[in-house]
Amino acid sequence: MDLFKVYKLWDIEPVRGLDTTLWDKNGVEYTDLYGGHAVISVGHCHPHYVKAVTEQLGKLGFYSNAVQNSLQKELARKLGKACGYDDYSLFLCNSGAEANENAMKLASFHTGRARILAFGHAFHGRTSGAVAATDNPKIQSPFNSTANVSFAPLNDIAEVEKELHSKEYAAVIIEGIQGVAGIYEPDDGFLLSLREICDKTGTMLILDEIQSGYGRTGLFFAHQHAGIRADIITTAKGMGNGFPIGGVLVSPAIKPSYGMLGTTFGGNHLACAAAIAVLEIIESEHLIENAAETGEFFRQNLCPDGHPIHPLKEYRGRGLMIGLEVMEGYGDLRNRLLFEKHFFTGAAGPAVIRLLPSLTVSKETAARFINALKDLSA
C-alpha cells in the first residue's frame, strides 16, 4: 500500500531533534523556526518531557474515559493556573479541529441556536464543522454544509453587530491571531467591542488559540493582550509538544451533562503526561517571558523603529508568532532559507514567511536567522 498523497513534501527527512535543532537522515543539521506548524513548544526531545512520557508509557499508556484518571485532573489544575482560567473546566480531545468542533457544539447546546459567525480568511480545521467555519471553499466538500455559517471581515465591528443583532448565533469563533491567513491580529478595541456585543446578544465567544496560544505571544493566550475573557477557548498544537492532544476550556456558565461530548482517545494517560510535562517546563524555564523577549529581539532587528528591513515589506505578529511579508521578487526566500541556510520556516502563500519557533528559542539562534536572511537578500 502506498500513502494517500495529500501533502506537498520537502525532500528532507528529519530523524533526530534537540531543542531547535533537527538532523536529517544524512546527518545534515537544520535550525527549526517552525516547530512543525507551531507544535513544538518546549523544544524537540526536552529531557523532562522525554522522561515524563517514557515513564508514563512504562506504567499505563491508555485507558478509556470510563474510569477515574487523576492525570486529567492534574492537567486541568495546572492549565487553569497557567492561563488564569482556573474557574473554567476542561474537555480533552485529540486535535485542534476536534477542539473547535466540540466548542461550536457546546455553544449550540448552551444557547439552543444553530448559527456560527466566523471571520474572513479564518482557519479552524478540516473536520465538518471546523471546515465550514474556515474561509476557504477549496477545502470544503459538498458534505460540509456551510448553511449555518456566516463570515464577517476581521476588525469590522459594524458588520458583526449587524449579524449578531438577529440573536440567531450560538457563537462567534475567532483566532487569537489568524495564523494560516498570514499572521493578522484582531485589534484590541475590536475584541473589547466583540465581547460586549456577545454579552448583549447572548452569543458565546469562542477563542481559537490553537496556533496563537500556549505562551507563544508573550501571554498564555493571545486574546489576553486585549484584557478580555472568552466563554470557550480551544487549544491544541503546543499543548502536547508533538503528542496529539487538544482541549476545550469551558466557562462555568455552560453546564455539562453526561454524553454531551465524548471521545475514545481524548485525555489518555500518555497525552496527559506529555501535556503536564509541557506546562512544567513552560513554568520552570520561564518560557512565556522568553517568547516575549526573543520575539521583541526578532522585531527590533527585522523591523527597527517600525521599518521592515530589505527585503521585507511588512513585519506582523506578537512574540514568537511572526509573519514576514516579503517584497515582490523574493517568493523563493523561504526555499533558499531552507536549502542554502538550513532554516525551517513556514509559509502563508508565497509572500509570507511564518516563524513559529519553540518558546525555548534563543536570541543567538534568532541572530543567526536574521544574518542568514540579510545574507540572502544582499
Ligand X SMILES: Cc1ncc(COP(=O)(O)O)c(C=O)c1O
> What are the start-end ranges of the H helices in 21-151?
35-38, 47-59, 70-83, 96-111, 128-132
Among residues 201 and 224, whose Cβ is nearest to ligand X? 224
Going by C-beta distance under 8 Å and a sequence separation of 6 or more, which residues neighbour residue 23? 14, 15, 16, 17, 29, 30
Q: Nearest to ligand X by Cβ — which residue?
A: 96
Tell me the C-alpha distance between 367 and 288, whole Å. Answer: 19
Q: Minimal CA–CA distance to 326: which of 309, 338, 306, 339?
A: 309
Least distance from ligand X to the Cβ atom of residue 65, Å? 20
> Which residues contact ligand X (rule: CB under 6 A)?
37, 95-97, 100, 123-125, 175, 179-180, 208, 210-211, 236
Among residues 101 and 201, whose Cβ is nearest to ligand X? 101
- Helix 47-59 / helix 269-284 crossing angle, nearest 10 deg: 160
Tell me the C-alpha distance between 56 and 329, whole Å. Answer: 50
Which 8-state DSSP code applies to residue 114? -
Least distance from ligand X to the Cβ atom of residue 138, Å? 15
All three cell numbers of 113, joined, read 441556536
Q: Minimal CA–CA distance to 322: which of 291, 295, 355, 353?
A: 355
- Asked if 212 and 179 count as a contact pair (C-beta separation under 8 A), the reply is yes
Among residues 220 and 330, whose Cβ is nearest to ligand X? 220
Going by C-beta distance under 8 Å and a sequence separation of 6 or more, which residues neighbour residue 351? 182, 313, 325, 326, 328, 331
Least distance from ligand X to the Cβ atom of residue 128, Å? 12
Least distance from ligand X to the Cβ atom of residue 132, Å? 13
Least distance from ligand X to the Cβ atom of residue 126, Å? 6
Least distance from ligand X to the Cβ atom of residue 304, Å? 29
Among residues 97 and 302, whose Cβ is nearest to ligand X? 97
Among residues 71 and 236, whose Cβ is nearest to ligand X? 236
Among residues 247 and 308, whose Cβ is nearest to ligand X? 247
